[in-house]
Amino acid sequence: MRTQRQVVDYSLQKRAVLRELLAGRVGTYDVCDASPYLKNAARFHGEPTEQRCPICRSENLTHVHYIYGDELKQSAGQARTLAELPVLAMTLREFQVFVVEVCLGCDWNHLVEQFLLGRDGLAEGGPEQGVADAATAPAHGRRREAQR
Ligand SMILES: [Zn+2]
């Protein structure tokens, strides 16, 4: 998306969780804990992907896009379809998007990435590419980062 900026990628954290699982330090019940809300969001607003679930390997993952920001008012925290995001990005100055992957088969879920969208990204000079600190991100999707 044209106004996408300050992308934070969580694939390292995801790999860490999968490693912990393989090593037996966490159980599948710890990581396959998608809430009914998340699963509903995946069903009704989710974006199907071609990626196989890393846990059950029988279903494809669904991406859910959650939006946050003061300008969203009561819509903050809601899931939106991928198609709705560019429209919002043209109407709002700035909002945060959190992408969560969910498996509707085994309830695996993990934060994929977060980024900012909005007209502020269209300022002259193009979107600035900053990498925010993943540690400051609100912890939804994956509440338990690998604890060591
Ligand atoms: Zn699965």
User: Has this prediction a pTM greater than 0.85?
Assistant: no
What is the tens place of the pLDDT at every residue in 108-140? 999 999 999 999 988 655 445 554 544 444 544
Dist. CA 5 → ligand 1 center (Å): 30
Candidates 15, 85, 88, 95; CA nearest to 45 is 85
The predicted-structure confidence for 77-117, as pLDDT tens digits, reads as follows 999 999 999 999 999 999 999 999 999 999 999 999 999 99
Which positions ≥6 away from 8 have C-beta within 8 Å?
Answer: 113, 114, 115, 131, 132, 133, 134, 137
Centroid of ligand 1 to alpha carbon of 102 (angstroms) = 8
| Ligand 1 centroid distance, CA of 55 (Å) | 5
* 6 CA distance to ligand 1 middle (Å): 29
Q: What is the pLDDT of residues 10-38, one digit of tens each?
A: 999 999 999 999 999 999 999 999 999 99
The model's pLDDT over 33-51, given as tens digits with 9 standing for 90+, comes to 999 999 999 999 999 999 9
